[in-house]
């Protein structure tokens, strides 16, 4: 335990290197905590327009008193029945959903709890309400092997959750829902339950008749959620693993690791032991993977491993980790080594991924006629660095504050430590000019008033985003309107029509034309960061850009 906490509820902070900020969270330490004993951990995610302090109250069954608003309830922690759990509640930048930077804050908080407390690795749980219930579903599907169980309450998940429901094969899920909820409709939650049931997931569903958008009172009242968690323990070595992902960022679950995929395309694996040292694998859109089997009760590392992949049987020699690669259309027991500079874990795009880690927004000073032009460019960069949220009648100032600097202020350390968001063209931004030969596309100077270009590439271990011409981020809905709602399906994507979060749906490269409000190209780049042939042809035909060979 690296620092001293008092018993009971309290508030602490952790350091986020994303924007050099201190991020608050609620933390509960059980009475009589002993560092030599291991403790289960519950992570509780708050809902929209809420906070970490209220979340800590809610998970212990305390709603607001009659006539008490959230502002007043946030000022104090009432007495409650003790539980023998460590409980942590991230602020996660307020109402930003649980993708991107808020997601990183959740992982950071779990890491912080592991550093500060003796946590039982097989008893880490995730729960949350409303927006936080949706975050529980999404994060649980992204890292199912981290949690022993998840318990979403009246969940409003992002659209990215829905293709991942099969990932909960070994993850117990208990969903709570108000039968008369006008905000998160029960029909949408029942749809989620059906999806899990169709995938043979361990799903429990509790619907409370007549209850509106406050079913957390039933879910968390009387210690209910802790009693359910009491009976759930993670199995790190299940006989079968089913996992889907479209990102190297989420490239492993249990004893399966994805080594080569096409970012942006969902890859799937279904691997199961059929006997001792015998595994059957079904895969789709996957070109290389590893079976990390050390410690698995059905595996003997001193004996060969027999693996059947999509009907083809292979033998792998005795070792702890077993590697398989698709070569010339056939699976072979060989290890895949990513070429230098290729897309890989931590370096893959899409554009918004560069904003979710430490980053600097850089505006150009080259060729500026006067101070007013410098000010205009600086303001344009600040607009791109803005993470404020606005929807309906709600607005929240930016909860993320990256550095915004000129090209003359960028240091060698900035290149090594940060993703660079470069605003301008090679004619206006010295940093873009310095990287020009390593960049795949450049907007022509004469096209900057009519076209907008934004793309991200990996260079020397960091992401570099180039944003040129028309500032797409000032009204992206004009070019990429949000998908229409699907009847009966609950989707809550938290983003704005302006600023950084407006780019969440952009792939690796986007070119728009202002006058026609048209998307000219919206594409993923290839694994070596080159422009695909079809997109390359469209870029050239636009006449607005030059494309590197």
Domain ranges within the chain, ordered by starting residue:
8-230, 240-332, 351-547
What whole-number distance in Å separates Cα of residue 263 and Cα of residue 245?
9
What whole-number distance in Å separates Cα of residue 162 and Cα of residue 430?
42
- At residue 101, what are phi and psi to the nearest 5 degrees? -65, -45
Please say if the pLDDT value at position 1 is more than 70. Answer: no
Topology (CATH) of 8-230: Rossmann fold (3.40.50)
pLDDT, tens digit, for every residue of 163-185? 999 999 999 999 999 999 999 99
Where would I find the H helices in 368-501?
371-384, 412-417, 430-434
What six digits make up the tokens of 495?
Answer: 């983003």
Q: Are strands 39-45 and 21-29 parallel, antiparallel or unpaired?
A: unpaired
pLDDT, tens digit, for every residue of 450-467? 999 999 999 999 999 999
Mean pLDDT value across the chain: 96
Alpha carbon 16 to chain centroid, angstroms: 16
Please say if the pLDDT value at position 9 is more than 90. Answer: yes
What whole-number distance in Å separates Cα of residue 492 and Cα of residue 100?
14
For the segment 404-428, the average pLDDT, to the nearest whole number, is 97
What six digits make up the tokens of 442?
Answer: 């450049």
Whether cis (ω within 30° of 0) applies to the bond prior to 350 is yes
Closest by CA position to 171, among listed 218, 224, 118, 127 = 127
- At residue 392, what are phi and psi to the nearest 5 degrees? 55, -130
Closest by CA position to 126, among listed 114, 140, 116, 138 = 140
> pTM of the prediction?
0.96
Contact present, 423 and 363 (Cβ < 8 Å): yes
Q: What is the pLDDT of residue 41?
A: 98
pLDDT, tens digit, for every residue of 36-47? 999 999 999 999
Tally helices (H) and strands (E) across the chain.
11, 29
**CB-CB neighbours of 265 under 10 Å:** 11
Closest by CA position to 467, among listed 443, 497, 434 = 443
């Amino acid at each position: 335990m690296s620092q001293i906490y008092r018993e009971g509820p309290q508030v602490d902070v952790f350091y986020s290197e994303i924007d050099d900020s201190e991020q608050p969270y609620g933390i509960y330490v059980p009475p009589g905590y002993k560092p030599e004993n291991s403790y289960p951990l519950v992570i509780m995610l708050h809902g929209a327009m809420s906070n970490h302090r209220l979340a800590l109250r809610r998970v212990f069954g305390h709603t607001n008193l009659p006539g008490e608003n959230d502002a007043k309830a946030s000022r104090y922690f009432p007495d409650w029945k003790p539980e023998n759990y460590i409980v942590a509640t991230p602020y996660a930048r307020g109402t930003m959903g649980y993708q991107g930077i808020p997601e990183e804050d959740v992982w950071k908080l779990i890491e912080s709890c592991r550093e500060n407390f003796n946590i039982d690795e097989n008893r880490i749980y995730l729960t949350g309400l409303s927006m936080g219930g949706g975050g529980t579903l999404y994060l649980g599907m992204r890292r199912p092997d981290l949690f022993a169980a998840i318990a979403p309450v009246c969940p409003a998940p992002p659209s990215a959750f829905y293709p991942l429901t099969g990932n909960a094969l070994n993850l117990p899920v208990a969903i709570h829902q108000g039968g008369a909820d006008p905000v998160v409709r029960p029909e949408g939650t029942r749809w989620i339950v059906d999806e899990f049931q169709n995938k043979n997931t361990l799903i429990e569903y509790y619907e409370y008749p007549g209850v509106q958008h406050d079913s957390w009172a039933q879910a968390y009242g009387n210690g209910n959620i802790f009693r359910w968690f009491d009976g759930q323990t993670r199995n790190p070595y299940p006989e079968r693993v089913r996992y889907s992902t479209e990102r190297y960022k989420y490239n492993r679950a249990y004893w399966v690791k994805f080594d080569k995929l096409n970012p942006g395309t969902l890859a799937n694996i279904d691997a199961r032991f059929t006997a001792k040292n015998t595994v059957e694998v079904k895969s789709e859109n996957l070109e290389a993977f590893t079976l990390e089997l050390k410690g698995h009760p059905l595996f003997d590392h001193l004996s060969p491993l027999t693996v059947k992949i999509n009907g083809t049987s292979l033998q792998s020699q005795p070792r702890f980790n077993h590697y398989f690669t698709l070569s010339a259309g056939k699976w072979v027991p060989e290890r895949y080594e990513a070429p230098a500079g290729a897309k890989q874990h931590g370096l893959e795009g899409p554009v918004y991924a560069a904003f979710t880690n430490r980053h600097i927004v850089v505006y150009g000073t080259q060729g500026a006629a006067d101070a007013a032009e410098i000010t205009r460019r600086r303001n344009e960069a600040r607009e791109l660095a803005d993470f404020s949220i606005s929807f309906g009648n709600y607005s929240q100032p930016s909860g993320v504050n990256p550095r915004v600097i000129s090209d003359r202020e960028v240091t060698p350390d900035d290149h090594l430590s940060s993703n660079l968001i470069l605003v301008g063209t090679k004619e206006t931004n010295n940093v873009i000019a310095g990287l020009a030969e390593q960049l795949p596309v450049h907007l022509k100077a004469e096209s900057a008033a009519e076209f907008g270009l934004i793309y991200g590439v990996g260079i020397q271990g960091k992401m570099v985003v180039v944003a040129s011409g028309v500032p797409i981020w000032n009204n992206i809905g004009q070019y990429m309107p949000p998908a229409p709602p699907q009847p009966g399906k609950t989707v809550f994507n938290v983003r704005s029509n302006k600023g950084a979060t407006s780019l969440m749906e952009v792939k690796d490269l986007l070119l728009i034309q202002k006058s026609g409000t048209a998307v000219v190209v919206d594409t993923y780049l290839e694994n070596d960061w080159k422009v695909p042939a079809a997109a390359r042809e469209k870029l050239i035909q636009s006449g607005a850009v030059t494309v590197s060979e």
